[in-house]
Structure 1
C-alpha cells in the first residue's frame, strides 16, 4: 500500500460516477483500486443526481455543469475558427462524408471540449506536480484533457463501444478521433476488437495501447439448476433500436412445440412499442410465456436474475463493446447467446459457454440454437454452466482486473516520468 503522502495524483473524468446509476456498475470497484495507488480527484459531469456510491477517503469530488449558458456565443466563435474544427471539417470532406448533421456534431463537440477544458484546467492548476488525467470515455472530456495536459502529465483513456464505433445506423459519427487523440499517452480498450477497429479506422496506436477487460463482482445463485424440458431466457438492456428486442420476439413467434419462458428487464426509448409488438406477435402461442419487468436498478435486476432459474442470457444487439450483462451472467453460471459484434466473440465460445449468431442472423438460426440446447443432456447443460462460471473467474473477475489495470497505469506513468 502506498502512503497518502507518497501517492501521486490522478484526475478521473466520468459522465456521472459516483452520482446517479449510469456508471456505478463500471467504476464502483475500480475506484477502490485507483485510490490505493493515487490520490484521486473525480470530475463528474452530473449535477442533478444524488451520490450513489461511497468513495474512499482520499477521493475529492468535483461536479461540472455542462450547460453552456451565456458562454455559447464566445464558444461558437472560438470553435469555428479553431484549428481543430477546421482540420476535422477537411477530414470529413476528404472522406466524402460532408453533411450538415456532421458539421453540427463537429461544432457541438468542439464547443463542449473548450468549455470543459476551461473547468478542468482550474482543477489541474491547483495540483502540484505531474498528474494522470484519466478519461473514462473517448469523447469531449478526453479531448479536453489533452488540451489541459501540462509538462509531465500522463493522459490515459478507456474506449468502450459507443465512444468508438462509427455505424451506418443513425449515421453515428465519431469526431476528432484523429485530432485530439494524438495527444493521448495511453489507450485502454475493453476488447481486442476495439483496438483493432481503432487502428484500422483512425490511426495505429498499438505502441501505446492495451486491452483491459472490465469486470464484475461474484454473484451467488440461490437455486439449484433443475432437469426440465422447457427453456428460460432473460434479456437485460434498454429497449433501443440497436438492441433489437424485436428480433427476439420474431424468433419466439417461429417456435412451435418447445416451451420457452422469456423475461426482459429494461425500458426507455422504444419500450411501449416493443410491449405492443410482443402482444401482436406472441398472442395465442401457448408454448411461449413472456414478461416485461420494466426498468430496475442494476443491483435489483441482478438479484432477480440470481434468484430465478435461467438457461441463457440473450443479447442480439447490432453493435456492442463488451456487454457488462454478459459478464454478470457468467458470474451467475448462466451461458450467453450473443451476436458476433464488438468484443462478444472474444468471450462467448460456441458450445462451451454459450452460442454465437451472425449479426444478420435469420430467426431460424436462433430457433435451431434453442432447440439444440433443449435436446442436450442435463449433464451437458451443467457443464456449460460451469464453463460460464470459469469464464467469469478467469477473465472478468473485477477485483483482479482492476488491480491489474491500476498497476499497469502506475507502471506506465512511472516510465513516462523517467523519459
Structure 2
C-alpha cells in the first residue's frame, strides 16, 4: 500500500499501555502501513506497554494531570458558557444539561483544558499535513471539537463504539453530541445500528458525516473440529467481568445443563471475586476455568489448538463484539443476546440470537438444542468462517477504512 503524505495523531483511552483496546492491535498494523508517522496520545497510562510498529510514537500529554475545577471555571468561564449554552439550546435532551450541570460542566472544563495542552503540543506538528483521529466518541473527542471550532486544527475524525455512543450507557445522554457533530469531519460508528442511532439524534444536515465502518480480526485459520458426539462440549466466553457483561447469567445458565461440559472464560474485572464464588456452585459435570486477562496472542493460540463448540455472549449491551469476530474467524458458532449491533454478526448463518431479557432456563435450552442441531457441524462452521471473511476480515475492513481516511484528508485539504 502506498503511504500517504499525512501523519496521523491517534487519541486513545490507554493504548498502547495496559491491556485494554486490544482491537487496536489489529488496526494499528494497517494504519502504520498507510501513514508515514503515527503519534499515539493516550488519555491514561499504565506501567505495561505493548509493542507497536516502528513508525508509531507514543506521547503522554496528560501525565500527572489534576483538575482544580474552581480554577478552571474562573479561567475558562467565557468558553464554558459558550459551549454549554450551545448544547443547552440545540440538544434534543436539553433538560439533561440542567439536571446534570455539575458533572457535565466538569467534563467540559477538563476538555477545554486538554484542548489547550493539545494546542501547545501541535505547535511543533505540521497540522495541515496531519490527520487527527480519536478512537472514542467520548474520550478525546470534545477537546478536538473545541480546537476545530477555534480553527486550531484543520479537522478530525472519530470512531464510535458502544458506551461512547448510546445514551442508555451514559445514564441518559452522551454529552455534547451536537457540538461534536457540528465540528467533526466524519464519524465512523462500528455498526450500522450505531450509525442509525446517531443519525436519529442529530440535525439532518449533519447526517452525511456518519459512515459505519466495521472493525476486523486477522485470519489464523479454522479451529480443530471433530464430531462432538465423541468430544466433550467446550464453551468459551470472553469479556470483562463487570455487571454489563452478565457473566453471572452464563453461570446460572450452565448450572441447568446436565451433560459433561467445559467452560473457559477469558477476561477479568471488578466483579471477578463475586462471579468466581458463584461458579463454585456449578454442578460437577461443568468443568470450568477463569483465565483472567491474557494477551490476544495467547487467546488466538487457544483457538488454534483447542476444539471450541460454541462461543457464548450474554451482555446487556454491546457495539459489535470483537470477541465474537475472533471466534467466528475460527468457524466457531455463537449464541448471543440481541443487543446493540450483535445481530450484524450473529444470525442464521453464524449462530443463534436470544432475547436480551432471556432467562437462564431458555438460554440453557437453546444451548442444548444447538448441540443436537445441524449448526453443530463442520459444514455450518465453514459457513460461519465465510460470513466472517465477507464482513469482518481485518485486511479487507481496515484497508477500506484507510481509504475513507485518505478521502477525508483530501476533502479537508
Instruction: Say which SS state the counterpart of residue 195 (structure 1) adopts.
Output: helix
Q: Distance in 2 between matches of 1:287 and 1:48?
A: 40
Please say if 1:385 is aligned against 2:390: no
* Deviations 1:227-247, CA, capped at 9 Å, x for gaps: 326432111111110111111
Shift of 1:89: 5.4
Q: Provide closer, same or farther for how the CA distance between residues 60 and 278 of structure 1 changes in structure 2, counting only shifts above 3 A.
A: closer
Q: Provide closer, same or farther for how the CA distance between residues 342 and 122 of structure 1 changes in structure 2, counting only shifts above 3 A.
A: same
Please say if 1:366 is aligned against 2:363: yes
Q: Distance in 2 between matches of 1:317 and 1:343?
A: 12
Please say if 1:402 is aligned against 2:407: no
Query: Can you give the 5+ residue segments of structure 1 that lack an aligned partner in the other structure?
Result: none
What does residue 266 of structure 1 align with? 267
Superposed CA RMSD in Å reads: 2.7
What does residue 212 of structure 2 align with? 211
What does residue 74 of structure 1 align with? 71
Q: Distance in 2 between matches of 1:279 and 1:400?
A: 43
* Deviations 1:29-62, CA, capped at 9 Å, x for gaps: 33433542453322222343343122233x3431
What does residue 253 of structure 1 align with? 255
What does residue 153 of structure 1 align with? 154
Q: Distance in 1 between matches of 2:328 and 2:393?
A: 10
Which of 314, 318, 339 in structure 2 is aligned with 1:316? 314
What does residue 185 of structure 2 align with? 185
Instruction: Say which SS state the counterpart of residue 179 (structure 1) adopts.
Output: helix
What does residue 137 of structure 2 align with? 138
Q: Provide closer, same or farther for how the CA distance between residues 8 and 294 of structure 1 changes in structure 2, counting only shifts above 3 A.
A: closer
Q: Distance in 2 between matches of 1:349 and 1:222?
A: 20
Q: Distance in 2 between matches of 1:93 and 1:67?
A: 36
Instruction: Say which SS state the counterpart of residue 292 (structure 2) adopts.
Output: coil
Instruction: Say which SS state the counterpart of residue 389 (structure 2) adopts.
Output: helix
Given that 1:135 and 1:142 are in contact with CA atoms closer than 8 Å, whether structure 2 keeps it comes out as yes
Shift of 1:107: 2.2
Shift of 1:327: 0.7
Given that 2:10 and 2:132 are in contact with CA atoms closer than 8 Å, whether structure 1 keeps it comes out as yes
Q: Provide closer, same or farther for how the CA distance between residues 184 and 389 of structure 1 changes in structure 2, counting only shifts above 3 A.
A: same
Q: Distance in 2 between matches of 1:170 and 1:29?
A: 26
Q: Provide closer, same or farther for how the CA distance between residues 35 and 17 of structure 1 changes in structure 2, counting only shifts above 3 A.
A: farther
**Greater mean alpha carbon deviation, residues 298-307 or residues 30-39:** 30-39
What does residue 342 of structure 2 align with? 344
Which of 108, 117, 120 in structure 2 is aligned with 1:119? 117
Q: Distance in 2 between matches of 1:140 and 1:29?
A: 18
Q: Distance in 1 between matches of 2:217 and 2:198?
A: 25
What does residue 233 of structure 1 align with? 235
Where does structure 1 differ by over 6 angstroms across 4 or more consecutive aligned residues?
Answer: 90-93
What does residue 373 of structure 2 align with? 376
Instruction: Say which SS state the counterpart of residue 308 (structure 2) adopts.
Output: coil
Q: Distance in 1 between matches of 2:317 and 2:117?
A: 33
Q: Distance in 1 between matches of 2:256 and 2:90?
A: 47
Q: Provide closer, same or farther for how the CA distance between residues 94 and 395 of structure 1 changes in structure 2, counting only shifts above 3 A.
A: closer
Q: Distance in 2 between matches of 1:155 and 1:356?
A: 36
Given that 1:29 and 1:399 are in contact with CA atoms closer than 8 Å, whether structure 2 keeps it comes out as no
* Deviations 1:249-280, CA, capped at 9 Å, x for gaps: 22222234x33322212222111111111223
Query: Can you give the 5+ residue segments of structure 2 that lack an aligned partner in the other structure?
Result: none
Count, aligned residues: 406
Shift of 1:313: 0.9
Q: Distance in 2 between matches of 1:227 and 1:70?
A: 57
